[in-house]
Amino acid sequence: MRLVQNEIEVQTPAIEEQIQVIVELGKELQDQLDALAARLRRSKVTQYTHTLTSGDRDEKGLDNLYTRLDRAKADLTARILTTHVGLSSNGTVPLTDEDMRALNLRDKVS
């Protein structure tokens, strides 16, 4: 997202919209992680009971959120590249090696 902040040419409505999607997903992830952390502060019996009754649901919810976040990041990359191609075809902005490294958004976490 720093690449977009530093390059006025790629600050298009489509890219800004996708960044907003990523920010919202980040907030949703933070909310889910905060809820899990709160449950970990409870007694061991309460933790055990929750794990038995809702553990799979919590895990699936986090997996789903990570998948949506990965998709949103890939969509952002595609939008940036599409915008850059449009600018490059006009001879306006060449793609540098640094730009290519910044656009390499392979998720190292998953």
The residue among 35, 110, 101, 38 whose CA lies nearest residue 71 is: 110
Instruction: Say if residues 61 and 32 touch (Cβ distance below 8 Å).
Output: yes
Predicted local distance difference test score (pLDDT) of residue 107: 41
Q: Is residue 8 part of a domain?
A: no
- Domain contains 1: no
pLDDT of res. 22: 93
The pTM of this model reads 0.63
Q: Is 7 left (phi over 0), alpha (psi -120 to 50) or beta?
A: beta
The whole domain housing 48 covers: 14-103
Number of structural domains found in the chain: 1
* Core vs surface per residue 62-88: b (16+ CB within 10 A) or e: eeebeeebbebbebbbebbeebbeebe
Q: Is residue 5 part of a domain?
A: no
**Tens-of-pLDDT digits for all 110 residues of the chain?**
566 666 677 778 888 899 899 999 999 999 988 988 887 777 777 766 767 677 778 788 889 999 999 999 999 888 888 887 666 655 555 556 666 666 665 444 43
pLDDT of residue 25: 95
Is 4 within the bounds of a domain?
Answer: no
